[in-house]
Amino acid sequence: EALLGAAVSDKEDDYNILLEKIADYEKIWSNRRLLVAAQHESQRFTYLVRAINYGVSKEIADLSEDEVPLEARTVMHKALADRLSKTDTTDIANYACYVQDLVCDIMFADTNSKRILRQIDFVQKSNPSYTVKEAAAVTILDLIVEWVSTLIDVQKTN
């Protein structure tokens, strides 16, 4: 570490001076390593946000006029840009969940898509032997039961 610190600072190669300033060079190297790691994390974040923007924008653009009118797609693109502008590194720590939330919130805002996907994940984690299809079936059945129960009017008769 001392040699690396010397290499990135004053390029000292005298053995005795290196030994005298070993703690300084180790600190220089530690600081440089942290700086490079922070730069790489920042680049990773930037590339992830760009990739998410590209992918979701493409999905929105590929929607047909029959599926979603042009005006609604324009609103979706604006909502995507707004949401991504507020994104920080903690949001994309688990980027798969973040993208799932993003797509549900922007492209399927008026649906229960996020709730359904969360429930499928929960069912599958609770029952590891279930396939995704089985977990989805259980989830949909639960939602149907919940919906039907709201339609039932129970009255007490005397």
- As a whole number of angstroms, the distance between CA 109 and CA 98 comes to 15
DSSP state of 11: -
Q: Is the pLDDT of residue 7 over 90?
A: no
Residue 120 included in any domain: no
Q: 117 in a domain, yes or no?
A: no
Is it the case that residue 2 has pLDDT exceeding 80?
no
pLDDT tens digits, one per residue of 81-109: 999 999 988 888 888 889 999 999 999 98
Q: Is residue 154 included in any domain, yes or no?
A: no
Residue 53 within a domain: yes
Quick check: is 92 in a domain? Answer: yes
pLDDT in tens, 103-140: 999 999 888 899 999 999 999 999 999 999 999 999 99
pTM, two decimals, is 0.67
Question: Are 107 and 59 a contacting pair, CB within 8 Å?
Answer: yes
Q: Is 134 within a domain?
A: no
The total number of structural domains that make up the chain: 1
In a domain, 79, yes or no: yes
What is the span of the domain harbouring residue 42? 2-111
